[in-house]
Amino acid sequence: MEIEKDNELMEKIVSLAKRRGFVFQGSEIYGGLAGTWDYGPLGAELSHNIKDLWWDFFVRKHEENYGLASSVLMPEPVWEASGHLEGFADPMVECEKCKRRFRADHLEEVTEDSSKCPECGGAFGEEKAFSQLFPVEMGSVEGSKVNAYLRGEIAQGMFVNFKNVLDTMRPKLPFGIAQIGKAFRNEIAPREFLFRVREFDLMEFEYFTREEEWEEHFEKWRKEMWEWIDLVGITRDSTHELEVSEKDRAHYSKRTIDFEFDYPFGRKELYGLAYRTDHDLKKHMEHSKVDLRYTDDEGERFIPHVIEPSFGLGRTVLAVLVSAYREDEIGGEKRVYLAFKPSVAPIKAAVFPLMKNKPELQTKAREVYKDLKKAIPQIMFDDNGNVGKRYRRQDEIGTPFCITIDFDTLEDDTVTVRNRDTAEQERIQISELEPYIKEQIETKK
Ligand code: GAP
C-alpha cells in the first residue's frame, strides 16, 4: 500500500539526530562513506538500551534460548554452503553515460520512466546480478585470493556453532541460539538514512524445532514480535504484517512474514520472520562433512527445522525516532520532543541547579546528580542557560524527567520533578528520586 510521503518530517528527524548527537555520517570529515552511519553519544546510549531490552526479552527471559557472539569474518565455504555466494545478489543496472548504478527492482520507486537513468537520462546497460557479500583478502600478501567474507547475515554464525552449543549446553528441542552483531551488505544504492546501509547491527535468533512443530513456533514468535514492537515504543498502528510471496522470499525460506513500518519515505520492511526449514544445517552438514543431527531421548537422529525472527537495529532506531517525534506548544511556545519510553531514553533524568551562579545550589545539585548516577547511570547534569532552555534541550533528546534543585531544597530536601510529556511538575523528596525514576522505567516498559 502507498502511504503519503513526508519528506519534511524525515529532514527534521535526520537534522535533530545529527544536531543532538544521535547519528553522524560515517567518516564525515573525509566527505562521508556511502552506506555507513555512526552513532554519537546519545545514539550509542539509545542503541545500547535497545540491544539490552532485546537481549532480556528474547534471550534471558526464555530458558531455552542461548546467546552467542560469533566472528564477523567467515570463510568462503560457509557462504558456498549457505547458498549466499550464488543467491545473495541484487539485480543491478548501470547507466552507460554517467556510470551510476541502480537496483533494477527499485527503479520504479525513484523515477517515472524506469528505462532511463534518473540522474542524467542516459540509457542502461544489461541487467546484471550484483553480489551483496563483501569479499576479504585474509593474510597480507598483495594480490592474495579472496578466501573469506564479512558476514552478510549473522545467522550463519548460529548454524556453524550449532554442534558446539549442542555439545556444551545439551539443550532439548525446541531451543534457540541468538546473537546481536554486525552484518555487511554491499548494497547497490544505500539510502534513506539508517534504512538501507552497508554495515548494520542485526539482532536475531534461530529457533530449532521438530519439523512437525514449525507452524506452532512460527505463530508463537509472531506474537512475541508484536510484544517487542510495543515494548520498544514503535507505533503499533504504523506497523503492518506482509505475507511475502514465494518469488520475493529469500532462497532459504518456505514462509516469510515481513513486519513493515510506515517510515516518512513510505511503507517498508522493518523486521522479518522466516521459516528456514532444515536448509542451512543440511547444507553445512553436506559441505563440512560434520554430523549436525540432533539426537532425541528415543535415540532418533534428525536435522531440526528453524524459525528465524530477525531485527535490524538501525531500522529499529529509525522507527523508534519516527514513533517518538512530537511537536506541540507550551505556554504559547513551540517545542519539539521525543516521547521515548523511559526504558529506551538515552538519558533518564537531567539534574539542574535553579541558578548557575549560586554555589550552594550548585553543590547540592552536584550531590543529587552524583548519588542518582550511582544507581541510574544514564543521568545528565545541566546548568547552561535558564531552566526553560534546559527543559527544551532535554525535551528534544527525549529525557523523561528534569529535576531542579532550588532554595527550598536546601531547607527541606525536596526537588521539583518535571514530566517531559505533560510538562507538569511535582515536588518529591530527594530520597524518593531513585525509586520514583526506576518505577517509571519499569512500569512504562
Ligand atoms: N538472517 C535473516 C536476514 O538477514 P534479512 O531480511 O535479509 O534477513 C534482516 O535482514 C533484517 O535486517 C531486516 O528485516 C532489516 O531489519 C535489516 N536489514 C536488512 N538489510 C539492511 C540494510 N541494508 N540496512 C539496514 N538494515 C537492513
> CB atoms < 10 A from the CB of 426, how many?
11
In a domain, 263, yes or no: yes
For residue 24, report the distance from its CA to the centre of ligand 1, in Å: 21
Is 89 exposed, middle or buried, given 0-12, 13-18 or 19+ CB atoms closer than 10 A? middle
Contact 118, 100 (CB under 8 A): no
Q: Please work out whether the CB of residue 314 comes within 6 Å of at least one atom of ligand 1.
A: yes
Amino acid at 342: P
- At residue 432, the pLDDT reads 97
Q: Residue 355 is part of a domain; what is its CATH number? A: 3.40.50.800
Q: Please work out whether the CB of residue 196 comes within 6 Å of at least one atom of ligand 1.
A: yes
Within 13 Å of residue 422, how many CA atoms lie on the same side as its CB? 6
Last residue of a domain, one of 282, 303, 321: 321
Q: Please work out whether the CB of residue 205 comes within 6 Å of at least one atom of ligand 1.
A: no
Band the pLDDT of 313: cuts 50, 70, 90.
Answer: very high
- At residue 143, the pLDDT reads 66
Count how many domains the chain has.
2
Q: Please work out whether the CB of residue 260 comes within 6 Å of at least one atom of ligand 1.
A: no
Which residue, judged by its Cα, is nearest atom 15 of ligand 1? Answer: 312
306 and 376 inside one domain: no
396 and 302 inside one domain: no
In a domain, 103, yes or no: no
Ligand 1 pocket test, pick from 257, 269, 306 with the greatest ligand atom count within 8 Å of Cβ, gives 269
Instruction: Please provide the average confidence, as pLDDT, over all residues in the chain.
Output: 95
In a domain, 129, yes or no: no
- At residue 87, the pLDDT reads 83
Query: What is the pTM (predicted TM-score) of this model?
Result: 0.95
Band the pLDDT of 2: cuts 50, 70, 90.
Answer: low
Ranges of beta strands (E only) in 17-126 are 23-25, 37-39, 65-67, 73-75, 89-94, 101-103
Contact 278, 305 (CB under 8 A): yes
Distance CA(413)–CA(407), nearest Å, equals: 10
205 and 77 inside one domain: yes
The DSSP element (H or E) to which 125 belongs, if any, is: none
* DSSP helix, strand, coil percent of the chain (3-state; round to 5): 35, 30, 35
* Cell numbers that stand for 339 in this block: 516521547
Q: pLDDT by residue (tens digit) across 92-135? A: 998 999 988 888 888 887 788 888 899 899 999 998 888 999 99
291 and 420 inside one domain: no
Average pLDDT of the segment spanning 316-326? 98
Ligand 1 pocket test, pick from 196, 315, 320 with the greatest ligand atom count within 8 Å of Cβ, gives 315
In a domain, 438, yes or no: yes
Contact 398, 365 (CB under 8 A): no
Which residue, judged by its Cα, is nearest atom 14 of ligand 1? Answer: 271
Q: Please work out whether the CB of residue 200 comes within 6 Å of at least one atom of ligand 1.
A: yes
In a domain, 88, yes or no: no
Ranges of beta strands (E only) in 255-387 are 255-263, 266-277, 294-295, 301-302, 305-312, 325-330, 333-338, 349-353, 379-381
Which residue, judged by its Cα, is nearest atom 4 of ligand 1? Answer: 153
Q: pLDDT by residue (tens digit) across 251-294? A: 899 999 999 999 999 999 999 999 999 999 999 999 999 999 99
DSSP state of 95: B
Which residue, judged by its Cα, is nearest atom 24 of ligand 1? Answer: 196
In a domain, 145, yes or no: no
177 and 261 inside one domain: yes
Which residue, judged by its Cα, is nearest atom 12 of ligand 1? Answer: 312
Q: Please work out whether the CB of residue 192 comes within 6 Å of at least one atom of ligand 1.
A: no
Q: Please work out whether the CB of residue 217 comes within 6 Å of at least one atom of ligand 1.
A: no
207 and 301 inside one domain: yes
User: Is pLDDT of 326 > 90?
Assistant: yes
For residue 77, report the distance from its CA to the centre of ligand 1, in Å: 22
168 and 30 inside one domain: yes
* Cell numbers that stand for 151 in this block: 558476514
Residues near 113 by beta carbon (within 8 Å), at least 6 away in sequence: none
Within 13 Å of residue 377, how many CA atoms lie on the same side as its CB? 3
Is 270 exposed, middle or buried, given 0-12, 13-18 or 19+ CB atoms closer than 10 A? buried
170 and 282 inside one domain: yes
367 and 305 inside one domain: no
In a domain, 55, yes or no: yes
% of residues, the chain, pLDDT over 70: 98
Domain ranges, residue 280: 7-82+151-321
Which residue, judged by its Cα, is nearest atom 19 of ligand 1? Answer: 312
Q: Please work out whether the CB of residue 181 comes within 6 Å of at least one atom of ligand 1.
A: no
* Cell numbers that stand for 421 in this block: 510529556
Average pLDDT of the segment spanning 440-444? 83
Last residue of a domain, one of 276, 305, 321: 321
In a domain, 210, yes or no: yes
Distance CA(196)–CA(354), nearest Å, equals: 44
292 and 172 inside one domain: yes
Band the pLDDT of 244: cuts 50, 70, 90.
Answer: very high
Contact 404, 387 (CB under 8 A): yes
Band the pLDDT of 141: cuts 50, 70, 90.
Answer: low
216 and 309 inside one domain: yes
Q: Tell me, rounded to whole angstroms, the distance of Cα 374 from its chain centroid.
A: 28
Q: Please work out whether the CB of residue 383 comes within 6 Å of at least one atom of ligand 1.
A: no
Q: pLDDT by residue (tens digit) across 150-176? A: 999 999 999 999 999 999 999 999 999
385 and 237 inside one domain: no
Q: Residue 286 is part of a domain; what is its CATH number? A: 3.30.930.10
Which residue, judged by its Cα, is nearest atom 17 of ligand 1? Answer: 312
Band the pLDDT of 418: cuts 50, 70, 90.
Answer: very high
